[in-house]
């Protein structure tokens, strides 16, 4: 992770992409969202969706994985450049999650995040608080998911203090 001071409002990063296969969709839904249109092609064809589609929680969980993998790649590149790596704190939560379109079998979703706010934390002065707008867009350019997340990120001052 970059330090809080190095994060600029307006920065945008593509996190990666994922193609949702039928087995993938059904395996997630069987465990966590066993509604007929997420686990059974024939039932899905008769539903308001018209075809098998991913649980919205699945679409969200893939964002999480791609975000973790993105941060790992970025941190590995920082290590190669001998740069210090900032700690990423726990997430207090999310707001305004919207499932905008169904994700059907074979759809490839490209996930991105944009920094929309960055401010020092009042309650925890060694941390900054960043607000991200996260989106997933399908291969036709249609947004399928969007939400706003908040995360604590280490400040340089705190890191310098640790070393002093």
Choosing from 10, 80, 96, 164, the residue that interacts with a copy of itself (CB under 8 A) is 96
Choosing from 61, 85, 115, 151, the residue that interacts with a copy of itself (CB under 8 A) is 61
Any contact of residue 80 with a copy of itself (CB under 8 A)? no
Any contact of residue 74 with a copy of itself (CB under 8 A)? no
Nearest to 133 by CA among 1, 2, 12, 5: 12
Q: Which one, 49 or 159, has the nearer CB to a copy of itself?
A: 49
The rounded distance, in Å, linking the Cα atoms of 71 and 81 is 15
Site size with a copy of itself, rule: CB under 8 A = 29
Nearest to 73 by CA among 129, 28, 14: 14
Give the torsion through C-alpha atoms of 15, 83, 151, 145, to 10 deg: -10
DSSP state of 82: T
Residue list 26-55, contact with a copy of itself (CB under 8 A)? 31-35, 48-49, 55
Q: How far is the CB of 87 from a copy of itself (least distance, A)?
A: 8
Any contact of residue 79 with a copy of itself (CB under 8 A)? no
Give yes or no for a contact between 146 and 63, defined as CB atoms under 8 angstroms apart.
no
Q: Which one, 92 or 161, has the nearer CB to a copy of itself?
A: 92
The rounded distance, in Å, linking the Cα atoms of 150 and 86 is 16
Choosing from 3, 4, 20, 99, the residue that interacts with a copy of itself (CB under 8 A) is 99
Q: End-to-end CA distance of the chain: give it in Å, rounded.
A: 21
Give contact residues for a copy of itself (rule: CB under 8 A): 31-35, 48-49, 55-57, 60-62, 64-65, 68, 89-99, 102, 147
């Amino acid at each position: 992770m970059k330090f809080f001071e190095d994060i600029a409002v307006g920065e945008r990063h593509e996190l990666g992409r994922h193609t949702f296969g039928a087995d993938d969709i059904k395996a997630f839904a069987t465990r966590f969202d066993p509604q007929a249109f997420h686990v059974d092609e024939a039932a899905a064809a008769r539903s308001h969706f018209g075809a098998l589609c991913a649980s919205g929680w699945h679409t969200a969980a893939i964002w999480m994985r791609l975000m973790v993998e993105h941060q790992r790649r970025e941190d590995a590149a920082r290590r190669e450049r001998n740069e210090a790596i900032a700690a990423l704190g726990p997430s207090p939560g999310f707001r305004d999650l919207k499932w905008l379109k169904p994700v059907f079998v074979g759809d490839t979703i490209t996930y991105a995040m944009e920094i929309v706010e960055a401010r020092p934390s009042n309650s925890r002065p060694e941390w900054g608080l960043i607000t991200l707008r996260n989106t997933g867009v399908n291969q036709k350019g249609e947004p399928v998911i969007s939400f706003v997340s908040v995360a604590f990120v280490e400040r340089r001052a705190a890191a310098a203090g640790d070393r002093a």
